[in-house]
Amino acid sequence: MNNKVSLIDIILFRLYYISMVVEDSTRVKDYLTKTKLETLDYVINPYVGCPNKCLYCYAAYMSSFSKHAEEWGEFIDVKRTSKKINLYKIKNKKVMISTVTDPYNSYEEKYGVTRMLLEQLVNSEANINIVTKSKLITRDIDLFKQMKSVEVVLSICLTDEDLKSKLEPCSSSIAERIETLKMLKANGIKTVVFISPIIPMFTDYRQIIEMTKEYTDEYWFDRLNLRSSFKTKMFNFIKQEYPLLKNLYSDIYEKKNLNFFDIIFKKIHTYCEKNQIVYKSFYAGT
C-alpha cells in the first residue's frame, strides 16, 4: 500500500482544517507585552490562537486566557488597538514576534496585522526576531531590508513531509521553508533555523543542518516539552502510529527521565563545535 501523502491530499486537508477555525477580534491595550522569558524583553503576538494546529503545540494553555469555548487551533482572534508601538520603550531591547502564535499564519494574508506592526517597527532600534513556519514571511522582505536589526527564524523540526503533514498539518512544507530561507538569504536578511521542538526519534538535527546550512546564519535548539492536552494528543499519536516508541515517551514524559535529551544535546554541542556552527541551546539539562 502506498502511504505517501499527495499534494492534493495536503491542500484538501489544509482547506478542511482552515474552514473549521472561528474568526473574531479582540481589543488589547498594547501590542507589546513585557516578558519574563530569558533572553527577551518584549513579545508581540498579533493574534490570539494559532490555526497551524501543530500536534505538539506548547501554546495550547493560552486557550484558558481566551473567551472561546473552541479548542486551541479552532479559533483565531485578531488583536486590535489604535495605540502605536512605543519605539522609545523598545530601543536596544529584544523583541520577539511571536511566542504563542505564528505571525504568518494563514489569516495574516487576510488581516495583515503582522505587516501593519512591522511598518511601525521599520525605524525602531530594537533587536527583532520573527519566528514562523510559513513561507508568507517573504512578502515582507521589503520591510526587513529597511530594519536596523532583524533576524528571521524559521522553525524546522522534521525532514519527512509525510510526518510533517501529520504533526504540523497547516504550516508550510519543509521544502517551502527551505525555499523561504534561500530567498531571505539572497536578500541579505539574517536567518536562523530553530530546530524545535526536538521530537524524540523524529527530529534529525544533522539532516536539517545539512539541508539548510547554505542559507542559515545560526541554529537554535530546544526540546519537546509535553504538558496538558497536547501531551495526551502526542501520546495518542505515538500509541497509534509508533507503538514501539511508547516506552521511550513514557520514560521521558511520565517518569521524567531526561537522559535521552542529555545525550542528544551533548551530541549537538559536539557536532556544532566540530563543524563551526553558530548555535544556541535552550535546553537547561537535568
Q: Does 54 bind ligand SF4 (CB under 6 A)?
A: yes
Closest CB 241 distance from ligand SF4, rounded Å = 19
CA-CA distances (angstroms) from residue 253 to 226, 246, 247?
7, 10, 10
Question: Which range of residues in 46-54, 119-127, 254-262, 272-280 is near ligand SF4 by CB under 6 A?
Answer: 46-54
**CA–CA distance, 137 with 177 (Å, rounded to integer):** 10
Q: List strand residue ranges (DSSP E) for the chain, in order.
A: 22-27, 32-34, 42-44, 47-48, 75-80, 94-97, 127-132, 150-155, 190-198, 218-223, 279-281
Cα–Cα distance measured from residue 166 to residue 14, given in angstroms and rounded to the nearest whole number: 11
**CA 98 to CA 93: how far, in whole Å?**
15
> CA–CA separation, 168 vs 166, rounded Å?
6
Q: Whole-number minimum distance, CB 125 to ligand SF4, in Å?
A: 28
**Window 242 to 261, contacts with ligand SF4 (CB under 6 A):** none
Place of cell 521511550: 248
**Backbone phi, then psi, for 80, in 5-degree steps?**
-130, 135
* Residue 198 interacting with ligand SF4 (CB under 6 A): no
The correct pick among 32, 43, 44, 59 for binding ligand SF4 (CB under 6 A) is 59
Q: Is 101 in the site for ligand SF4 (CB under 6 A)?
A: yes
Binding mask 121-160 for ligand SF4 (x = CB under 6 A): ------------x---------------------------
Is residue 192 involved in binding ligand SF4 (CB under 6 A)?
Answer: no
CB of 54 to ligand SF4, least distance (A): 3
Q: How many residues bind ligand SF4 (CB under 6 A)?
A: 10
C-alpha span between 153 and 176 (Å, rounded): 14
Question: Per CB under 6 A, does 222 bind ligand SF4?
Answer: no
Looking at the Cβ atoms of 124 and 253, the one nearer to ligand SF4 is: 253
Asked if 108 touches ligand SF4 (CB under 6 A), the answer is no
By CB under 6 A, which span of 18-26, 47-55, 182-190, 198-206 interacts with ligand SF4?
A: 47-55
Please name the amino acid found at residue 102: D
Q: Which of 43, 57, 157, 208 binds ligand SF4 (CB under 6 A)?
A: 57
Instruction: Answer yes or no: are the C-beta atoms of 85 and 28 closer than 8 Å.
Output: no
Where on the chain is the footprint of ligand SF4 (CB under 6 A)? 50, 52-54, 57, 59, 100-102, 133
